[in-house]
Chains A and B, each alone.
Chain A
Amino acid sequence: MATKASRSAARLMMAPAVILLLGWMLVPLTMTLWFSFRKYLPLRGGDLGWAGFDNYTRFVTSSAFWPSVMATLTVVGGVLIITVCLGVLLAILLDQPMWGQGVVRILVIAPFFVMPTVSALVWKNMFMDPTNGLFAHLFKFFGAEPIAWLSQASMPSIIMIVSWQWLPFATLILLTAIQSLDSEQLEASEIDGAPPLKRFWFIILPHLGRAITVVILIQTIFLLSIFAEIFVTTGGAFGTKTLTYLIFQRVLESQNIGLGSAGGVYAIILANIVAIFLMRIVGKNLDN
């Protein structure tokens, strides 16, 4: 697009998409901001006028606020660590030539296509059920006492379920990155006297740096808003109430739209803080 005419034509043609996306973002954002300053109780009188910063102070001073922020960060952090570490290992494994490679790769990617609600229910009922679950049977087989996963180890359970869903994504991106590694670099390092572990550390891992960055960025955005997995398993109990879930409870269970909206604004701020940090740490990785 070199000429002036083609540039303005391009702007004109992009305009509908830009306007649509902008509206899509701006309308809910403005409405959230609007409601967050209103005292709005749908079942108890509806819109009851301005509330000032009441909703904001009530939301943060609630005893559920800080635990929910911590729960959110724990889930995001835990899932990121598990998916990136296992993703790198799985990518290396899948990169090896082996029999039935195509089928294995499809199987590895499959969990990503299962809806969050469905996969959480499958985990809850088929694996983690304390009497009939596979894990319970496994524990009993080895003579151990089955644990009630979702109440006794609720946070690890949630992290496990979400990691299972996101591992394929990480693996897929890391696999394509590993495949783009020039094999001559590995051979050169082999001749240079680097044993396999050092080849991984000095050659493969730095090569994957950018892909790991992308995985972390994209996953963080989606993990900050996980909801279905918590809704169908613990229902926010046993310390698994994330910020998203807290907002949901405020709006629907307490029927307080104003308070929930204020929470939504906090969530936006939290997401942006996390994003800025990530961009700082990770942005360096993306240039060069």
Chain B
Amino acid sequence: MADNKEILAGLAEIVDEVAGIDAAEVSADKSFVDDLDIDSLSMVEIAVQAEDKFGVKIPDDQLAELKTVGDAVDYIAKNQ
């Protein structure tokens, strides 16, 4: 089981791979859309990679609720 810090670091790696955003930019308070400029197609890619990495399921209705990086970290921590 990964702790929140490890989840954040893992997510930052995925965001860099998919969207080319430096890991230092990917902090808990950042909005995927408004701050990191990630589009809906890239969000699907990030979600699929996060599912594989952390062994969670992220249904589409949940994905829509994950507005910030912190939302995603919390969801993964609770559901892994």
| A and B co-occur in one complex | no
Residues of B within 8 A of A (CB): none
Residues of A within 8 A of B (CB): none
